[in-house]
Amino acid sequence: MNALKKCCYRTYQKIMYVAEYFMPWPEAETLKGSGSLMKMPEWLKSHGRKSVLIVTDSVLAGFGYSGKLADGLTEAGIKAVVYDKVVPNPTIDNIEEGLKIYKENQCDCIVALGGGSPMDCAKGIGCRVACPKKPIEKMKGTLKVGHKLPPLYAIPTTAGTGSEVTLAAVISNPAKQEKYPIEDPVVIPRYIVFDPQLTIGLPPHVTSTTGMDALTHAVEAFIGKSNTSATKKQAIEATQLVFKYLKRAFDNGQDIEAREQMQRAAWLGGKAFTRAYVGYVHAVAHALGGFYGVPHGLANAVALPYVLKKFGASAYKKLAILADAVGITGADNKEKAEKFIAAIEDLNKSMNIPNKIEGRWTIKDEDIDRLVDHAIKEANPLYPVPTIFDKEDIKELFLAVKG
């Protein structure tokens, strides 16, 4: 990639960085603590809600969470309808199906119950309510919505995506084998419920990969070039919490303190990257999710060490700061950074996360060029990464994570 093009990318990133100071960044109202889910009916009633669309997936519906919430809303005199067909990597079809239910029941707000997929789907439905004549594909990219969404309540049941506080919704289009973000401050939820009891039933592999998703958000936000003093603090604290509590939550799913602290880590990581952006780890992960349905947290966990190593010296100083924050020592920034990356690899290994994308998600050689095109189109020029990669660099990353 020539120097002029890189200069243009950096100029674009600087413009976005300055522009963010003039964007609305609402602070959400929150309910916190064990049992908060069942306090929601009265909360919604106090907000004057009359008809609620609950967006979730079949697994959570099977746990009974959405049913309990719907029953509580009914008892409070609020109409409740449930859309529980959201798939991992939610699709345009999911959004359109949810939109139909919203309209048919004259809903006045949306409740997202789940991990990143129900959250993203709920945001997508909100976008379509706000922009009824604009298909979701026309909203992909940055600042393409521009209209106020219906009130959005977020109830995270995993601790990783940070979707409850971000300006992004990631949507898949299986017909085109693509996955792309919609990024606009209007999609940030205005209300959040943090109930650690909802994360108790997470399978260990979901706990591990969603937790590594939170770490990826924090690390990519911190090492990028668009930080503020607030995002630096958020990213450092999120990193510390993941290193302290994720393995505990993985080893003992009933550890309520670890669950609660991981929810905080996810929230902080989300706040950090929604202002400071992510990087090539996410670009690679989104491509893998769009092509093969690789779970986002898993893709991030696998790709993170490879991307950090490839940044080399350009990331040493900031990775060394993160190393210091979690108690990793070294003779210089290079040694600290390398030990920090090794610690991430060790954490993955301790939770049975592989170091390659393989099995039912095997990357096909004939798809590599298309994966590269998808990833680089997402990342450049927007992501303020330590070093700007070209197509050959991105190709090396896909080959590295390929089983």
- With 90 as the cut, is the pLDDT of residue 24 above it? no
Cα 79 to Cα 49, 56, 58, 65, 109, distances in angstroms: 9, 17, 21, 16, 11
- Shared-domain flag, residues 178 and 314: no
Q: What is the mean pLDDT of residues 31-58?
A: 96
Q: Report the SS3 class of residue 388.
A: coil
> For residue 122, is pLDDT > 90?
yes
Burial class (CB in 10 A: 0-12, 13-18, 19+), 64: exposed
- For the stretch 343-363, pLDDT in tens is 999 999 999 999 999 989 999
Q: What is the pLDDT of residue 28?
A: 94
Residue 6 placed within a domain: no
pTM for this structure?
0.93
The share of the chain scoring above pLDDT 90, in percent, equals 91
Last residue in a domain, options 147, 164, 199: 199
Residues 179 and 209 in one domain: no
The mean pLDDT of 306-313, rounded to a whole number, is 98
Query: Do 351 and 245 have their domain in common?
Result: yes
**Does 359 fall in a domain?**
yes
179 within domain boundaries? yes
Q: Which two tokens stand for residue 166?
A: 């971000």
Q: DSSP readout, 176-189?
A: GTEEEEEE-GGGS-
* 389, two tokens: 């990669």
Residue 12 falls within a domain, yes or no?
A: no
Confidence of residue 285 (pLDDT cuts 50, 70, 90): very high
**14: in domain:** no
For the segment 117-121, the average pLDDT, to the nearest whole number, is: 96
Question: What is the rounded distance in angstroms from the CA atom of residue 292 to the CA atom of residue 300?
Answer: 14
pLDDT in tens, 137-170: 999 988 999 899 999 999 999 999 999 999 999 9
Give the residue from 175, 199, 223 where a domain finishes: 199
- Under a CB-based contact definition with an 8 Å cutoff, are residues 397 and 310 in contact? yes
- Those residues whose C-beta lies under 8 Å from the C-beta of residue 344, and which sit 6 or more positions away, are 215, 304, 305, 308
Tell me what the mean pLDDT of segment 328-335 comes to.
98
Domain count, the chain: 2
Please say whether the beta carbons of 112 and 169 come within 8 A: no
Q: How confident is the model at residue 333 (pLDDT cuts 50, 70, 90)?
A: very high
* 366 and 223, same domain (yes or no): yes
Residues 254 and 286 in one domain: yes
* Domain match, 194 and 210 both: no
The pLDDT value given to residue 259? 97
What is the predicted pLDDT for the residue at 179?
A: 85
From 174, 199, 224, give the residue that closes a domain.
199
* Residue 161: CATH number of its domain: 3.40.50.1970
> Positive or negative CA dihedral for 221, 226, 231, 232?
positive
Same domain, 190 and 257: no
Asked whether residue 89 carries a pLDDT value surpassing 90, the answer given is no
pLDDT number for residue 176 = 87
Q: Which domain holds residue 327?
A: 202-401
What are the residues whose beta carbons fall under 8 Å from the beta carbon of 347, sequence distance 6 or more?
212, 243, 246, 247
At 11 the pLDDT is: 97
Contacts of 223 (CB under 8 A, 6+ apart): 279, 308, 311, 315, 318, 319, 385, 386
Residues 193 and 307 in one domain: no
**188 in the same domain as 207:** no
- Strand-pair category, 168-173 with 178-183: antiparallel
Q: Is residue 362 part of a domain?
A: yes
Q: Is there a cis peptide before residue 381, judged by omega within 30 degrees of 0?
A: yes
Same domain, 169 and 230: no
Let me know if residue 159 belongs to a domain. yes
DSSP 151: P
> How far is Cα 272 from Cα 267, in angstroms, rounded to an integer?
9
Asked if residue 396 and residue 383 are part of one domain, the reply reads: yes
β-strand partners of 324: none
Query: Could you tell me if residue 144 is inside a domain?
Result: yes
> Are residues 249 and 103 part of one domain?
no
* CATH for 277: 1.20.1090.10
Percent of the chain that is helix, strand, coil (3-state, to 5): 60, 15, 25
Q: Is the pLDDT of residue 1 over 80?
A: no
Looking at every residue in the chain, the average pLDDT score rounds to 96
The pLDDT of 98-106, averaged and rounded, is 98
E strand segments, 101-206: 109-114, 141-142, 152-156, 168-173, 178-183, 191-194
